[in-house]
Amino acid sequence: MALKLTVREVSAGYGAVRALHGVSLEVGQGETVALLGTNGNGKSTLMKCVMGMVRPTQGSVSLEIDGTTHDLTRLSTEAIVNLGVALVPEGRRLFPKLTVEENLLLGAFRPAARSAIARNLAFAYEIFPALAERRRQLAGSMSGGQQQMLAIGRALMSAPRLLLVDEPSVGLAPILVSHTITQIGELKSRYGLTVLMAEQNFHQAIRIADRGYIIVHGEIVFEGRSVAELEQNDLVKRYYLGT
């Protein structure tokens, strides 16, 4: 059941804009790792590199699952998803004119997830009761918080081994942010999920993280091997607010 994501010396960018410079990080089986840093620092770009949506110009991204190692920079996004990696994208990216249930069912598109679709759907409605009530409602007509729940539910429908979550707090009112982060924490314990979460909301993220990295201007500036290390570090405020 071993799973290990290894990112080594990755540099990437859009056209001439260098978003990442020599980033290295690892995520082991069952861990929840936080990728922290304010916006525009490359967190989303790194997530997209892992998902094959952005090709790094240097470095390697490899995923070891049950003994076989896959070079994610060579695979298409669909192939990576089929390995059991799911991403809750920034801004949720739901299908606005499809119903809640249709969005959830689309989450289970990958063959390995299709067999357990009924069970996973029941779980999704159990974890997010609000979605059960709005089963027939169009995803676009739901509030920010509900859309975030649906986006997480949809990712879970693919029965992932590794769950990437990109800025779950985006556009959510503060009380909803802590609720969403708590739910992600619960998923970890309930399914033994391995989670890599990019989040700007420092205190919220370290509530559920085992350890974390701080990324500023596309470079990892600090690696906290434990939450305690992250918390005492007074550098954090300086990195975060660039004062």
Partner 1 sequence: MRRGDPAPHFFDAPMIFSFELLYEAVIFGILLGCFYAAVSIGLSVAFGLLDVPHVAHPAVMVSGAYGTWVLAGYGFDPILAGLTLMPLFFLFGMALYRFYYEAFEKRGSNAGVRGIAFFFGVALIIEVGLIVLYGVDQRTVEASYVGSSIDFGDMRIPQRFLVGGGVALVLMATLTLYLSKTFTGRAIKAVAQDEPALRLMGADPVRIKQWAFGIATAVAALSGALLIIIGPVEPALDRVYIGRTFSVVVLAGLGSMTGTLAAGLILGISESIVLMLFGASWAPAVSFGLLLLVLAVRPQGLFGR
Partner 2 sequence: MDATHLKITAVSKHFGGFTALDGVSLEIARGERFGLIGPNGSGKTTLINCVSGSLRNDGGSIEFNGEDVSRLPAFQRTRRGIARSFQIPRPFASMSLLENLVVPLEFVVHRRSLHGADTRGEAMALLQDMGLAAKADTPTSSLSQVELRKMELARAMAARPQLLISDEAMAGLAGGEVDEVLEILFKLNATGITIIMIEHIMQAVMRFSQRVVCLDAGRIICEGTPESIVQNPDVQKAYLGA
Query: Quick one: tokens of 18?
Result: 């260098």
Binding residue for partner 1, selected from 98, 127, 132, 216, defined by CB under 8 A: 98
Q: Does 74 bind partner 1 (CB under 8 A)?
A: no
**206: β partners:** none
Q: CB-wise, 45 or 158, nearer to partner 1?
A: 158
Q: Does 232 bind partner 2 (CB under 8 A)?
A: no
Contacts of 97 (CB under 8 A, 6+ apart): 138, 139, 140
Contact 106, 154 (CB under 8 A): yes
Q: Which stretch binds partner 1 (CB under 8 A): 2-10, 77-85, 169-177, 207-215?
A: 77-85
Decide: helix, strand or coil at residue 149: helix
Contacts to partner 2 from residues 127-166, by CB under 8 A? 138, 140-144, 146-147
Q: Which stretch binds partner 2 (CB under 8 A): 17-25, 60-68, 157-165, 221-229?
A: 17-25
Contact 56, 10 (CB under 8 A): yes
Contacts to partner 1 from residues 130-159, by CB under 8 A? 154, 158
Across 79-104, b (16+ Cβ under 10 Å) vs e yields: ebbbbbbbbbbbebebeeeebbbebb
Binding residue for partner 1, selected from 13, 24, 26, 102, defined by CB under 8 A: 102
Q: Which stretch binds partner 2 (CB under 8 A): 53-61, 114-122, 185-193, 196-204?
A: 196-204
CB of residue 64 to partner 2, shortest distance in Å: 31
